[in-house]
Structure 1
Amino acid sequence: MPRRTASMLASTLLLIAMLCAAVLIEVPYAGMSPGPTYNTLGKVHGEEVLSFPDRDVSDNRASGHLNMTTVRVTGSEYRMNLFEAVYGWISDDDAVVPHSTLYPDDKSAEEVDEENAEEFSRSQESAKVAALRELGRKVPTRVIVQSVLKGGPSQGVLHAGDVIKAVDGKRVRTPQQVADLVTKHEPGEKVRFTVVPADRAEAAEKAKKNPSALEGEELTLSTEKADDGRAIVGIQPGTAHTFPFPIKITLADVGGPSAGLMFSLGIVDKLTDEDLTGGAFVAGTGTIDDKGRVGAIGGIGMKTIAAREKGAEFFLTPARNCATAAADKPEGLTLVKVRTLDDALDSLEKIREDRLSGLPRCTTG
Structure 2
Amino acid sequence: MRPSHDDSRTPAHGSPDTPASGEPVPAPLPDGSYSVYPYQGLGAGRPGPAKRTARSRAMLVAGALAVVLGAAGLLLPAQYVVESPGPTFNTLGSAGDSEIIQIEGRPSYPTDGELDLTTVYVSGGPSTNISIFQALGGWVDTNDVVYPTEFLYAPGTTSDEVDEENAAAMTSSQEAATAAALTHLDIGYTQELTVAAVVEGAPAEGVLQAGDTVVAVGDTRIDGIDTLRSVLNDGGGTAAEITVRRDGNEVTESVTPRQSDSGTYQLGIELATSFEFPFDVSIGAGMEQVGGPSAGMMFALGIVDRLTPESMTGGKHFAGTGTIDAAGNVGPIGGIRQKLIGASDAGAEYFLAPADNCGEVVGHVPDGLDVVRVSTLDEAINAVEKLAAGGSAADLPQCTP
Identify if the C-alpha distance between structure 1 residues 148 and 284 changes in structure 2 by more than 3 Å, giving closer, same or farther: same
Structure 1: distance between partners of 2:324 and 2:133: 38
Of 259, 275, 278, which residue of structure 2 is paired with 1:241? Answer: 275
TM superposition shift of 1:33: 0.9
- The aligned residue for residue 178 of structure 2 is 128
TM superposition shift of 1:307: 1.1
Q: Does residue 282 of the first structure (1) align with residue 331 of the second (2)?
A: no
Q: Does residue 34 of the first structure (1) align with residue 67 of the second (2)?
A: no
Provide, for residues 220-275 of structure 1, a one-character-per-residue CA deviation record: whole Å limited to 9, x for no partner: 89xxxxxxxxxxx9984322223122211133122111111001100000000121
Q: Aligned partner of 2:388: which letter? A: R
TM superposition shift of 1:65: 0.4
- The aligned residue for residue 217 of structure 1 is 250
Q: Is 2:323–2:333's contact at 8 Å kept on the other side of the alignment?
A: yes
Of 349, 358, 379, which residue of structure 2 is paired with 1:313? Answer: 349
Aligned with 2:280: secondary structure?
Answer: coil
Of 309, 333, 347, which residue of structure 2 is paired with 1:273? Answer: 309
Aligned with 1:142: secondary structure?
Answer: strand
Q: Percent identity?
A: 39
Q: Aligned partner of 1:89: which letter? A: W
Q: Decide which moves more: 311-320 or 94-103.
A: 94-103
- The aligned residue for residue 139 of structure 1 is 189
Structure 2: distance between partners of 1:244 and 1:284: 28
TM superposition shift of 1:41: 0.6
Q: Does residue 24 of the first structure (1) align with residue 60 of the second (2)?
A: no
TM superposition shift of 1:358: 4.7
TM superposition shift of 1:22: 6.3
Provide, for residues 100-139 of structure 1, a one-character-per-residue CA deviation record: whole Å limited to 9, x for no partner: 2332115333222222222212211111111111111123
Structure 2: distance between partners of 1:294 and 1:265: 12
Identify if the C-alpha distance between structure 1 residues 176 and 255 changes in structure 2 by more than 3 Å, giving closer, same or farther: farther
- The aligned residue for residue 155 of structure 2 is 105
Provide, for residues 182-227 of structure 1, a one-character-per-residue CA deviation record: whole Å limited to 9, x for no partner: xx9xxxxxx99743357x7xxxxxxxxxxxxxxx423889xxxxxx
Structure 1: distance between partners of 2:156 and 2:71: 32
Q: Aligned partner of 1:344: which letter? A: A
Identify if the C-alpha distance between structure 1 residues 18 and 88 changes in structure 2 by more than 3 Å, giving closer, same or farther: farther
Aligned with 1:51: secondary structure?
Answer: strand
Aligned with 2:89: secondary structure?
Answer: strand
Equivalent residues, number: 315
* Structure with bigger gyration radius: 2
Q: Is 1:169–1:193's contact at 8 Å kept on the other side of the alignment?
A: no
Q: Does residue 354 of the first structure (1) align with residue 390 of the second (2)?
A: yes
Q: TM-score, normalised by structure 1?
A: 0.73
Q: TM-score, normalised by structure 2?
A: 0.67
Aligned with 1:327: secondary structure?
Answer: coil
Of 98, 113, 117, which residue of structure 2 is paired with 1:64? Answer: 113
> Which is helix-richer, 1 or 2?
1
Q: Aligned partner of 1:62: which letter? A: T
Structure 1 unaligned residues grouped into runs of 5+: 1-12, 185-190, 201-215, 222-232
Q: Aligned partner of 1:30: which letter? A: V
TM superposition shift of 1:145: 3.5
Q: Does residue 195 of the first structure (1) align with residue 229 of the second (2)?
A: no
Aligned with 1:306: secondary structure?
Answer: helix
Q: Is 1:326–1:363's contact at 8 Å kept on the other side of the alignment?
A: yes
Structure 2 unaligned residues grouped into runs of 5+: 1-63, 200-204, 255-266
Q: Aligned partner of 1:31: which letter? A: V
Q: Is 2:127–2:158's contact at 8 Å kept on the other side of the alignment?
A: no
Stretches of 4+ moved more than 6 A in 1?
A: 16-19, 167-171, 175-180
TM superposition shift of 1:141: 2.3
